Amino acid sequence: MIAIVDYGMGNLQSVWKALRYLHCDAVITDEPATIKNADGLIVPGVGAFSPAMEALTSKGLDIAIKEFAATGKPVLGICLGMQLFLDSSEEGASEDSPIKGLGLIPGKVVKFPSDLTVDSGLKVPQIGWNSLTDVTGDLLAEGDHVYFVHSYYCIPDDPKDCAAMTEYGLKYCVSLQKGNIFATQFHPEKSGEAGLQILLKFAGRTRR
């Protein structure tokens, strides 16, 4: 069974429906006990970093996620969920005091540069489809066309933790993989067949 963490800021139903379409046993939960007994864990997310961390902490879900990750069972973060896996974020932070994340993968979350829209004519947030490059992650395929909605992006401390990149005014990391921990800045549940294949590969790891 795959547990989808409900902390009030997620695209929960679309992730659940995608897994059910793939005939995967999945449940949406905010109960640490249910998370503990799951075979795999998905942390989705839509919204701002600081309120998300506050919501996780208020329900003890931050501890539940970290304890689950420590078991070696597979964990997947999606969009804001990926960002929460890192040490800190600039979003909602003062200049000298970044907001702390879960710290599952060393790194930080930063905003797209302010000159991005001026120099390239692109819009922030990035909303729409883009292709994966420099793919090293087990769940992904080079050239996968996937769907993004975000204004901040992740910079892992160790480049080896980056499982894929894309380009949007600059080249940046859009997927992470470190041991049993996986994450995507894009939404696999909204990325058509390519996204379904990512979720299917993740689900396959829960059955080992």
**How many residues make up the chain in this entry?**
208
Closest CA to 43 of 81, 3, 100: 81
Catalytic residue status for 150: no
Catalytic residue status for 187: yes
Selected catalytic residue, list 91, 150, 162, 189: 189
Q: Phi and psi dihedrals of 122, rounded to 5? A: -80, 160
Selected catalytic residue, list 91, 154, 173, 187: 187
DSSP string, 119-142: HH---SSEEEEEE-BS---TT--T
Selected catalytic residue, list 79, 154, 162, 173: 79
Residues 108/90, Cβ–Cβ less than 8 Å: yes
Q: Which residues pair with 150 in a beta bridge?
A: 126
Closest CA to 36 of 82, 84, 75, 87: 75
CA distance 48 to 83: 10
DSSP string, 158-191: SGGGEEEEEESSSEEEEEEEETTEEEESSBGGGS
The residue with tokens 């969009």 is 79
Closest CA to 74 of 116, 104, 101: 104
**Active site positions, annotated:** 79, 187, 189
